[in-house]
Amino acid sequence: MVAIAQVAATMPESVAEWARQAFGFEADPLQRPILDCDALRVIACTSRQVGKSTVAALRALYLALKYPGSLILMIGPVGSQAGEILEKAREFAAELGFRIRGDGINKQSLRLPNGSRLVARPAISATSRGYSQARLIIVDEAAFVPDGIFRSITPSLGISRGSLWVLSTPHGQAGEFARFWHDQDNGFARFSITADQCPRFTPEFLAAERYLHGELSYAQEYLCQFISEGVQLLTREQVQASFVTAAPVPTLALQGETRYYFGLDLGKRQDHSALVVVELTWAQGPRNHATQGFTRLPQLTVRYAARLPLGYETTGLPRFVRDAAQSFPLLAALRHPGTLLVDATGNGHTVIELLRGDRNGLLLKPVTISSGYKSRQLADNYYSIPRTDLLTRLKLLFERGLLKIERPAAGMDFLERELIQFEPSGRQQEHDDLIMALSLAIWQAVEDHTDLIGLPGHTPVFATRRVL
């Protein structure tokens, strides 16, 4: 058998060079920087079949050989997926002359003579928490694993200063992999390999795949583009296009026509209470030649978004709403009060009574969200609103480009995540508290100004003077 210490002592600093010397593996120009990357966080968005599993296996075996007693953890959507990287590492280890055996604990594992272990596990949070001080964690096909797996595995990297490798082909615009890739400030070293950058694909094969599977599938599977699956309410592009650096400032003549809409979603057992404030302002549009006045163009802007901690005391909600209202000085000067819609579905009646007794200056509308198809007024000034109506109005405003989000305002990062992840079915893993609060505020704004979503309505005219 080969002495592992002797092998480790002769290993070069470059993993790509070691792979060439030990196995005759010539890394592609785009594979080499991934192999040699020492960053603590690495994300690779690649086409299918460009060798990312081979690269990961080589990196894993290199670290296991160089650092005795290391733990290398490989996570995949299912055990067999993670086992693909492990199997490649086994083959490389056997090629070096090491005896192949498991660690005696995990079914899919490899123990080297220096005590290092390579372990493959399926992406199940409950079974991935027992590992500690990992030198490297590889999450393969990360776009297909449950989002919660990252919260389970990353703590094991803290003490060891280990690395996290997140590898995948895109799969929709939601999920942690898409979020990691699009967030430019999260500290990940980023790599991308598309099919046309891989020398082993022929143009004829790629052309056949494009024809067979269609443009959208080809763009995602081979060109690393994040294509909406159709289960999301909004696309990432729609959400990101809505952000503005500052809310519009109406002219002095139109400032008094500003309206504020508050949406309050009450937390349940595992949900946050959330409050969103939308400001409706008007800009001067084209001249109306009949009246010689100017039409007014509406603009909705999300100015405030806040989630309260889980378990927040119900009695504190009136003060929470009042403080938010007081953060908009213009509101007190307007002739029309702001409107507060509160989701009173379930046990929200107590909160409604507390809000009714509080002097926050807002017009209160308690709402129950139904599965029906028509909004209607109930007893005690409650309103029943279909959930589909709430979400449809929100979607239409994004599609029409009439809803903007003030980026610098607090809480907008959380709102962005919810909007990108949200599915009308409610099956997303991200909270939806801010979205529901926003939907409530938007519903009332559209109710007051139906032309916002293209329904028949009166386009306001700001009269200046008539020319006789």
pLDDT for res 210: 86
Other CB atoms within a 10 A radius of the CB of residue 237 amount to 12
Residues 6+ apart with CB under 8 A from 39: 163, 188, 189
Q: Which of 174, 198, 223 is the last residue of a domain?
A: 223
Bridge-based pairing state of the strands 117-122 and 71-76: parallel
Q: Which residues pair with 119 in a beta bridge?
A: 73, 109
Quick one: 160 and 250 in the same domain? no
pLDDT for res 126: 59
The answer to the question of residue 277 being in a domain is yes
Quick one: 265 and 128 in the same domain? no
CATH (domain of 65)? 3.40.50.300
The answer to the question of residue 235 being in a domain is no
* pTM as predicted: 0.65
Q: Grade residue 36 by pLDDT with cuts at 50, 70 and 90.
A: very high
Other CB atoms within a 10 A radius of the CB of residue 247 amount to 17
Residue with the larger pLDDT of the pair 129 and 377: 377
Q: Which of 171, 198, 223 is the last residue of a domain?
A: 223
- Spell 296-314 as b/e; 16+ CB within 10 A means b: bebbbbbbbbbbbeeeeee
Quick one: 265 and 164 in the same domain? no
Q: Grade residue 25 by pLDDT with cuts at 50, 70 and 90.
A: very high
Which letter does DSSP use for residue 431 in this model? Answer: -
- Domain range for 57 is 4-223
Alpha-carbon distance 16 to 21, whole Å? 9
pLDDT for res 79: 60
Other CB atoms within a 10 A radius of the CB of residue 217 amount to 13
- At 186, list the tokens: 């999260």
The answer to the question of residue 435 being in a domain is yes
Quick one: 192 and 291 in the same domain? no
Which of 229, 300, 238 has its CA nearest to residue 263? 300
- pLDDT tens for 326-348 read 999 898 888 888 999 999 887 67
The answer to the question of residue 468 being in a domain is no
Quick one: 302 and 165 in the same domain? no
Q: Is 58 left (phi over 0), alpha (psi -120 to 50) or beta?
A: alpha
Quick one: 273 and 379 in the same domain? yes
Quick one: 203 and 141 in the same domain? yes
- Judged against a pLDDT cut of 50, whether residue 466 lies above it is answered with no
As for how many domains the chain has, the answer is 2
Residue with the larger pLDDT of the pair 401 and 290: 401
The answer to the question of residue 144 being in a domain is yes
Residue with the larger pLDDT of the pair 227 and 74: 74
Residue with the larger pLDDT of the pair 458 and 239: 239
Quick one: 359 and 284 in the same domain? yes
pLDDT for res 467: 39
Q: What is the dihedral of CA 123, 127, 132, 135, to 10 degrees?
A: -20
Q: Which residue has the tokens 């109005």?
A: 393
Residue with the larger pLDDT of the pair 429 and 321: 321
Out of 53-62, 72-81, 284-293, 344-353, the most confident range is: 53-62
Residue with the larger pLDDT of the pair 163 and 230: 163
Alpha-carbon distance 294 to 285, whole Å? 6
Q: How far is CA 349 from CA 266, 315, 346, in A?
A: 11, 13, 8
Alpha-carbon distance 297 to 300, whole Å? 10
Q: Which residues pair with 111 in a beta bridge?
A: 117
Q: How long is the chain?
A: 468
Quick one: 176 and 316 in the same domain? no
Q: Which residues pair with 281 in a beta bridge?
A: 299
- Judged against a pLDDT cut of 60, whether residue 265 lies above it is answered with yes
* Helices within 234-348 (DSSP H only): 236-241, 252-255, 317-326, 329-333
pLDDT for res 129: 66
- At 78, list the tokens: 């299912």
Residue 284 CB burial class (10 angstroms; 0-12, 13-18, ≥19): middle
Extended beta strands in 124-162, E state: 136-139
Residues 6+ apart with CB under 8 A from 211: none
The answer to the question of residue 234 being in a domain is no
Q: What percent of the chain has pLDDT over 70?
A: 90
Quick one: 331 and 409 in the same domain? yes
Residues 6+ apart with CB under 8 A from 422: 232, 233, 234, 428, 430, 432, 435
Out of 31-40, 80-89, 231-240, the most confident range is: 31-40
Q: Which residue has the tokens 């980023």?
A: 190
SS3 call for 392: helix
Residue with the larger pLDDT of the pair 216 and 1: 216
Q: How far is CA 451 from CA 297, 400, 403, in A?
A: 10, 11, 13
Lowest-confidence segment of 23-27, 38-42, 145-149, 289-293 by average pLDDT = 289-293
Residue 148 CB burial class (10 angstroms; 0-12, 13-18, ≥19): middle
- Judged against a pLDDT cut of 90, whether residue 406 lies above it is answered with yes
- Judged against a pLDDT cut of 50, whether residue 463 lies above it is answered with no
Q: Which residue has the tokens 């086994």?
A: 90
The answer to the question of residue 232 being in a domain is no
CATH (domain of 288)? 3.30.420.240
Q: Which residue has the tokens 């159709």?
A: 230
Quick one: 216 and 318 in the same domain? no
Q: Which of 172, 198, 223 is the last residue of a domain?
A: 223
SS3 call for 297: strand
The answer to the question of residue 228 being in a domain is no
- pLDDT tens for 382-404 read 889 988 889 889 988 998 888 99
Q: What is the dihedral of CA 418, 419, 422, 426, to 10 degrees?
A: 70
Quick one: 11 and 66 in the same domain? yes
Alpha-carbon distance 62 to 93, whole Å? 10
